[in-house]
Amino acid sequence: MFDLKALDQIIKDTISAVEKSKEQIYDIAENARMEKQRVALELEEIQKRTIETIREVDELERLEKTARLRLMEVSRNFNRYTEKDIKEAYDRAKELQVKLGLLRERESQLRQRRHQLEISLRKLDETVKKAEDMVSQVGAALSLLSGNLQGISTKLEEIQQRQHLSMQVIKAQEEERRRVARDIHDGPAQSMANVILRIEICERLLEKNPAQVPKELRELKKVLKNSLQDVRKIIFDLRPMALDDLGIIPTLKRYFNEYEERTGLKVELIAFGQEKRISSAMEVAIFRVIQEAVNNAYKHAQASKVVVRLEMTPKVVNCSIKDDGVGFVVKEKMGQDKTFGLIGMRERIELLKGTFEINSAPGKGTEIRFQIPLEG
């Protein structure tokens, strides 16, 4: 048990120090924000100048190429041209080469400066976000410290829960990194080794049996296609790019069409409400939970059909994923969850202050329902 009176006294003693720190954090955030605006404007100007320079380089390359062709023509047929013509052609080609070299150097410098500014902008953006987070945290701390101790045990418990969730997030990130490393090692890395071996075979066949080279190249092409598919799958598993461009519903439609073609599992999407863009974190969480549920239906439930119902209201997102598979005992599966990812699905939703529910029984299929608030 906490000695709340002693804790209250400690809090009062630290309030003044925290308030001073809060002012300093405000200054850091404001300075970083101003510098970010300055860098953003400079970056925009550099980007414009880079585009203009690239266009100038392209045009000058065209002119330089024409001048070189003219010089070659004059040089080959010098009997048809005067010494003045030859000199003019040479001077023109030389002049354009020098201008092109200078312009290319300018383009390289602009690209380098643009890269430096982009890095600076990202760092400043991170600094602003961190400072804003710190301001928010300090404000919350001051609000808590300045008040009385009513409900402090509940707040401490909430803090512990957040710490637990943070550890779970870190653990999930490490698991994801291990999975990606394993996928790359077992997939593209092995394929690349096979490609190198087949290239060596082709080199030897070119010397000894050239007629076999086309066959080996066809096999090599198949290996590269498979490697490309593996890489695209790994990229998609990390983050489907369609989410950023299209939103959750179009991305799910595209994913289900591809999934049905690849696996034969029928997945039906029923969308309710007004389709709209929501925060990136919510879109990713919704997609990953649905993706995991559909994969479970295919890999473990022996399902022939999955129905996904997604409702978007002004305040919440409701979702239901139901399959006609073999089902399971929920308590047993949650207690030994190593394959189905049910705990990870639940934690994704709870991190967004949502609710998560699983209904299943042997022989009766499985339904996963969750709700995420759009406000708060």
pLDDT at 152: 55
67 falls in which pLDDT band (50, 70, 90)? confident
| Cα 171 to Cα 75: distance, rounded to the nearest angstrom | 71
Do 20 and 72 lie in one domain? The reply is yes
| Cα 297 to Cα 264: distance, rounded to the nearest angstrom | 12
Q: Which two tokens stand for residue 187?
A: 């997939």
Do 270 and 222 lie in one domain? The reply is no
The whole-number average pLDDT for the span 11-19 is 69
8 Å CB contact between 160 and 168? no
Distance in angstroms between the alpha carbons of the first and the last residue of the chain: 32
Write the CB contacts of 137 (distance below 8 Å, at least 6 apart in sequence).
none
8 Å CB contact between 283 and 337? no
Positive/negative CA dihedral, 117, 122, 127, 128: positive
Examine the fold and report which residue of 184, 206, 237 is the final residue of a domain before the chain moves on: 237
pLDDT at 311: 94
pLDDT at 160: 58
The CATH number of the domain holding residue 85 is 1.10.287.2610
Do 233 and 244 lie in one domain? The reply is no
19 falls in which pLDDT band (50, 70, 90)? confident
Q: Tell me the per-residue pLDDT of 285-310, one tens digit each, with 9 for 90 and over.
A: 899 899 999 989 998 888 999 999 99
pLDDT at 359: 92
The whole-number average pLDDT for the span 54-66 is 89
The domain total for the chain is 3
The CATH number of the domain holding residue 298 is 3.30.565.10
Res. 167: pLDDT tops 80: no
| Cα 138 to Cα 269: distance, rounded to the nearest angstrom | 44
**What SS3 class is residue 328?**
coil
pLDDT at 173: 62
Examine the fold and report which residue of 215, 237, 259 is the final residue of a domain before the chain moves on: 237
pLDDT at 128: 82
CA dihedral angle for residue 15, residue 16, residue 20, residue 25, rounded to 10 degrees: 0
8 Å CB contact between 135 and 23? no
Write the CB contacts of 25 (distance below 8 Å, at least 6 apart in sequence).
131, 134, 135, 138
Res. 156: pLDDT tops 70: no
Do 143 and 44 lie in one domain? The reply is yes
Do 208 and 185 lie in one domain? The reply is yes
Angle at 347 between CA 344 and CA 350, to 5 degrees: 155
Q: Tell me the per-residue pLDDT of 310-325, one tens digit each, with 9 for 90 and over.
A: 999 989 999 999 999 9
Q: Which two tokens stand for residue 278?
A: 């929501």
Q: Is residue 192 part of a domain?
A: yes
Do 61 and 137 lie in one domain? The reply is yes
Write the CB contacts of 366 (distance below 8 Å, at least 6 apart in sequence).
296, 297, 301, 322, 323, 325, 327, 328, 358, 359, 360
Do 223 and 245 lie in one domain? The reply is no
pLDDT at 4: 47
Q: Is residue 155 part of a domain?
A: no
Res. 129: pLDDT tops 60: yes
Q: Tell me the per-residue pLDDT of 209-262, one tens digit each, with 9 for 90 and over.
A: 888 878 888 887 887 887 777 776 666 666 666 677 788 899 899 889 988 998
Chain mean pLDDT for the chain: 81
Res. 265: pLDDT tops 90: yes
Q: Is residue 89 part of a domain?
A: yes
Q: Tell me the per-residue pLDDT of 335-346, one tens digit each, with 9 for 90 and over.
A: 665 545 788 888
The whole-number average pLDDT for the span 23-39 is 84
| Cα 148 to Cα 135: distance, rounded to the nearest angstrom | 21
Q: Is residue 20 part of a domain?
A: yes
Do 323 and 253 lie in one domain? The reply is yes
The whole-number average pLDDT for the span 19-48 is 85
Residue-number span of the structural domain to which 110 is assigned: 4-150
pLDDT at 256: 92
pLDDT at 1: 45
8 Å CB contact between 253 and 269? yes
Q: Is residue 156 part of a domain?
A: no
DSSP sequence for 341-363: -HHHHHHHHHHTT-EEEEEE-TT
Percent of the chain with pLDDT over 70: 79
Residue 307 DSSP one-character state: E
pLDDT at 188: 73
Do 258 and 330 lie in one domain? The reply is yes
DSSP sequence for 176-191: HHHHHHHHHIIIIIHH
List, in sequence order, every beta strand (DSSP E) within the chain: 266-273, 305-312, 316-323, 355-360, 366-373
Do 245 and 332 lie in one domain? The reply is yes
pTM recorded for the entire structure: 0.46
pLDDT at 150: 46
8 Å CB contact between 302 and 325? yes
8 falls in which pLDDT band (50, 70, 90)? low
Examine the fold and report which residue of 150, 181, 198 is the final residue of a domain before the chain moves on: 150
